[in-house]
Chain A
Amino acid sequence: MSVDRATVLRIARLARIAISDEEAQRLQSELSGILDWVAQLDELDTADVEPMTRVEAMTMKMRKDEVTDGFCAGDIVKNAPEEDDHYFVVPKIVE
């Protein structure tokens, strides 16, 4: 499975990672190599196999619907690169 340059650029865009031309070229061959290698899974017929969702059968626990945490806006924005009055600040989105 070989990945073309346009695909690398599309994937990088989806992943929100800016990449240079040089990186795109390197990634094209690296990603193709990895995808070629994982293609050996095609040898297995998995038509009647259920996907694994849990390691051990276990019922998901329910918790009470009640407030257990909160009132800590200062802690939440403490690590933000830019904040104002308990809001995260980002570049302008709506003109």
Chain B
Amino acid sequence: MTDLTDLTISDAREGLAAKSFSAVELTEAHLAAIEAANLAINAYVLTTPERAIDMAKTSDARIAKGEAGALEGIPLGIKDLFCTKDVRTTACSHILDGFTPPYESTVTANLWNAGAVMLGKLNNDEFAMGSSNETSFYGDVVNPWRRKGSDAPLVPGGSSGGSSAAVAARLCLGATATDTGGSIRQPAAFTGTVGLKPTYGRCSRWGIVAFASSLDQAGPIARTVRDAAIMLGAMAGHDPKDTTCADLPVPDFEAVLGQGVKGLTIGIPKEYRVEGMAPEIEALWQQGIAWLTEAGATVKDVSLPHTKYALPSYYIVAPAEASSNLARYDGVRYGLREPGKDVISMYENTREAGFGAEVKRRVLIGTYVLSAGYYDAYYLKAQKVRTLIKRDFDQVFESVDAILTPTTPGPAFAAGEKSGDPLEMYLNDIFTVTVNMAGLPGLSVPAGLSSEGTPLGLQVIGRAFDEETLLRVGQAIEDAAGVMVKPQDWWSTRA
């Protein structure tokens, strides 16, 4: 029998229904894989084996009674940004040391209601600020993929680097993730996994540690487009506790996957052909265009003229909102407290000790752009630029059904390669950040390997609340490219 950890969610669902194996067996296989791998990969910052077995036993009982939910018995990893009741949640920041939420995030509650099993909490960049998972208080995550003939560690992308690495290394069948500027799609591209950032408002933000509230959105990372569709269906839905969460029915995302792309028009935006882009990225993009054309889609050149302004305006909006959201970490109500001579110095010392360098940099930028006299010049200006970016997309979507771009300007880079220069790191999000600024859905699908032997992804961008078309296009790419293979296992101590 295939290793249970190699199954897709849809295969596992069938195997559980056919009683080929039990939910407890499936969970135990994953717990053993994590045990053997985590020292090398560092994807999990906390495992919850007892809870996982209990949940799996409940799932087995529900399956036996014919009451299985959509994710019954499916073992998942949860990004440490999601509050989980009575299970430590720190956003991988020192400042939230030991924080144990007395409540459950809506998205994870939805998953548990659908029968999913929690394996543990996954590493991420501190407060989701980073593109390489090198800013976590719990240390770097290592990409299970390596360059051909090299054992130098590569980054798994960020901020959802624990999620992407765990899914690629078979340490869970799927994972939750969040995306503020590319934090689902970029790590998915770097690890050969499928990452879906839904439309802003598709999933509730309630109970997710806030970074930039007008941009943050939760979504799945999984190994196939179908698995991402299954997970999104369980995660999404209206929530009265988040006023920005859309009161719309959740479509059957899985049902559309067989519809193909015949008759769809796919836009190719010329502004994503950036200076210095690797020839292999351009070749991958052309390959994607050819696949979709062969599958019956029509391809059309389009223009999104304000693309180049998305990243600079993002680096006003996101730090501004972060500086407000992170004001709550003051050593009074939860987490770390460092003493001081008075209450102000207690705040200052706590935040000095509790935040890492990247978080401080962004809080300070945000404080600056929101400070007296600068609001109009920076934050208001950036929000106006967002309108222009959104308008570009609105115009293009009058004549196309989806847009195809590369997910990242290059494959996974080496640990330490870009961490010295914040601006160079920020440029990693150049193709993904536009989508957050406009609030649209974006999907990254593995599309091939780089000359270094590491995965590359293509991104599909869709109309607001049209994840269905996005998934159809993603399925066509996956059908043509083939499901990404498992990277060579160098990380298991049992291997």
Note whether A and B form a binding pair.
yes
Within B331-386, the residues touching A (CB, 8 Å) are 331-337, 339-340, 342-349, 351-352, 355, 360-361, 363-365, 367-368, 371, 378, 380-386
A44, B385: Cβ atoms under 8 Å?
A: yes
Give A7-19 as 1s and 0s: 1 = Cβ < 8 Å from B's Cβ atoms: 1100111111111
Q: Which residues of A come within 8 Å of B, CB atoms?
A: 3, 7-8, 11-19, 27, 30-31, 33-35, 37-38, 40-41, 44, 46, 49-56, 58, 60-61, 63, 72, 75-82, 88, 90-93
24 A-B contacts (beta carbon < 8 Å): A8-B364, A15-B363, A16-B327, A17-B360, A17-B364, A18-B349, A19-B360, A44-B388, A46-B381, A50-B387, A51-B387, A52-B384, A52-B386, A53-B383, A54-B244, A55-B200, A56-B200, A63-B240, A77-B333, A79-B333, A88-B333, A90-B332, A90-B343, A91-B343
CA distance A60 to B378 in the complex (A): 26
A14, B98: Cβ atoms under 8 Å?
A: no
Stretch of B39-47, B122-130, B285-293, B307-315 at the chain-chain interface: B307-315
A37, B465: Cβ atoms under 8 Å?
A: no
The answer to the question of B395 belonging to the interface, with a C-beta cut-off of 8 Å to chain A, is: no
B309, A16: Cβ atoms under 8 Å?
A: no
CA distance A10 to B348 in the complex (A): 13
Question: Given known contacts A33-B423, A63-B240, is B313 in contact with A81 (CB within 8 Å)?
Answer: no
> Besides A30-B422, A44-B306, 13 other CB < 8 A contacts?
A38-B312, A38-B378, A40-B308, A40-B312, A41-B382, A51-B380, A54-B244, A55-B439, A55-B464, A56-B200, A58-B246, A78-B100, A80-B332
**8 Å CB contact of A16 from B246, B330, B382, B384:** B330
CA distance A89 to B352 in the complex (A): 20
The answer to the question of B294 belonging to the interface, with a C-beta cut-off of 8 Å to chain A, is: no
Which A residue's beta carbon lies closest to that of B340? A91
B337, A11: Cβ atoms under 8 Å?
A: no
Q: Which residues of B come within 8 Å of A, CB atoms?
A: 98-100, 102, 199-201, 240, 243-244, 246-247, 306, 308-309, 312-313, 315-316, 323, 327, 330-337, 339-340, 342-349, 351-352, 355, 360-361, 363-365, 367-368, 371, 378, 380-388, 390, 422-423, 438-440, 464-465
Which B residue's beta carbon lies closest to that of A12? B364
Which B residue's beta carbon lies closest to that of A10? B371
Which B residue's beta carbon lies closest to that of A47? B384
Contacts of A14 in B (CB 8 A): 367, 371
Contacts of A27 in B (CB 8 A): 360-361, 364
Contacts of B102 in A (CB 8 A): 72, 75-76, 78
Smallest CB-CB A-B distances: 6 pairs = A55-B439, A51-B383, A81-B337, A79-B334, A75-B102, A46-B384
**8 Å CB contact of A15 from B315, B323, B383, B465:** B323
Contacts of A92 in B (CB 8 A): 342-343
Which B residue's beta carbon lies closest to that of A52? B386
CA distance A51 to B317 in the complex (A): 12
Contacts of A41 in B (CB 8 A): 309, 312-313, 316, 381-382, 385
Question: Given known contacts A17-B351, A52-B387, is B247 in contact with A37 (CB within 8 Å)?
Answer: no
Min Cβ gap A14→B in Å is 5
B240, A15: Cβ atoms under 8 Å?
A: no
Which A residue's beta carbon lies closest to that of B391? A49
A15, B312: Cβ atoms under 8 Å?
A: no
B335, A17: Cβ atoms under 8 Å?
A: no
Contacts of A18 in B (CB 8 A): 345, 348-349, 351-352
Contacts of A3 in B (CB 8 A): 368
CA distance A50 to B383 in the complex (A): 8
Question: Given known contacts A52-B386, A72-B102, is B364 in contact with A38 (CB within 8 Å)?
Answer: no
CA distance A15 to B312 in the complex (A): 22
Which B residue's beta carbon lies closest to that of A75? B102
Contacts of A77 in B (CB 8 A): 333
A49, B98: Cβ atoms under 8 Å?
A: no
CA distance A41 to B381 in the complex (A): 8
A61, B247: Cβ atoms under 8 Å?
A: yes
Which B residue's beta carbon lies closest to that of A89? B332
CA distance A71 to B327 in the complex (A): 26
**8 Å CB contact of A49 from B246, B349, B384, B440:** B384
Contacts of A55 in B (CB 8 A): 199-201, 390, 438-440, 464
CA distance A7 to B360 in the complex (A): 15
B365, A34: Cβ atoms under 8 Å?
A: yes
Contacts of A37 in B (CB 8 A): 312, 315, 423
Contacts of B365 in A (CB 8 A): 31, 34-35
**8 Å CB contact of A19 from B100, B335, B352:** B352
Contacts of A30 in B (CB 8 A): 361, 422
